[in-house]
A and B are shown apart, each in its own frame.
Chain A
Amino acid sequence: EPEVTQTPSHQVTQMGQEVILRCVPISNHLYFYWYRQILGQKVEFLVSFYNNEISEKSEIFDDQFSVERPDGSNFTLKIRSTKLEDSAMYFCASGTGVNTGELFFGEGSRLTVL
């Protein structure tokens, strides 16, 4: 069964450093998403991406965050200068875009900012 894969599974970084989280969505999917989940809290929407541009973003997704699909297969989330409060699980998801279709989520990347 096809799946969304994410790397790294866990990254530890120093505050102020840049971090790139990578995702390989399911190959025929056209819609891509990033979510985050701070420990013990709910899953929060960050950004959606379609046709090589951001289609929607939340208030959390400020200028420190960016996304891109550099090579037609990977979908990356970059945090330019990490803060302690960026520590969370980051989930990538993809979907076909067919109305009401399900989203497929990856296993997540745990980011720890020290």
Chain B
Amino acid sequence: DAKTTQPNSMESNEEEPVHLPCNHSTISGTDYIHWYRQLPSQGPEYVIHGLTSNVNNRMASLAIAEDRKSSTLILHRATLRDAAVYYCILRSYNRDDKIIFGKGTRLHILP
């Protein structure tokens, strides 16, 4: 499985934007970049995914570098509820490809 590298933890103030980085220098042409998060005592939750272009949804934005070797998950206005572990995952273009979780980034939100 192609690997991703994320900081172990990050801190941000409530109501400010958060930029969560991810490096994936060995990404292949058929790998999509997925982000999931895990709130305390809950199961993982899908956040967003993309291939080459930047993506926006109601939860977040995903900025993908032109060479696709890195990406950034952007939470536009963090709330206390966004405190979670965020996982950057590469998922190949297969119908039933499993998701492999790394250690992720633990995001702390300061009130």
User: Interface residues, chain A, CB within 8 Å of chain B?
Assistant: 4, 31, 33, 35, 42-45, 48, 50, 55-56, 91, 93, 95, 97-100, 102-108
Could you tell me the distance between the alpha carbons of A33 and B91 in the complex, rounded to whole angstroms? 15
In the complex, what residue of chain B is closest to A110 when comparing beta carbons?
B41
Residue pair B43, A108 in contact (C-beta under 8 Å):
yes
Could you tell me the distance between the alpha carbons of A107 and B41 in the complex, rounded to whole angstroms? 8
B45 CB within 8 Å of chain A: yes
Residue pair B101, A105 in contact (C-beta under 8 Å):
no
B70 CB within 8 Å of chain A: no
Given A91-B44, A100-B49, also A44-B101 (CB < 8 A): yes
Residue pair B96, A106 in contact (C-beta under 8 Å):
no
Enumerate chain B residues within 8 angstroms of A43, measured Cβ to Cβ: 38, 44, 101
Enumerate chain B residues within 8 angstroms of A48, measured Cβ to Cβ: 96, 98
Enumerate chain A residues within 8 angstroms of B104, measured Cβ to Cβ: 42
Could you tell me the distance between the alpha carbons of A93 and B51 in the complex, rounded to whole angstroms? 23
Residue pair B98, A42 in contact (C-beta under 8 Å):
no
B38, B93, B98: the one within 8 Å of A100 (CB): B93
Residue pair B49, A102 in contact (C-beta under 8 Å):
yes
Shortest distance from the beta carbon of A75 to any chain B beta carbon, whole Å: 14
Residue pair B101, A104 in contact (C-beta under 8 Å):
no
B80 CB within 8 Å of chain A: no
Residue pair B42, A104 in contact (C-beta under 8 Å):
no
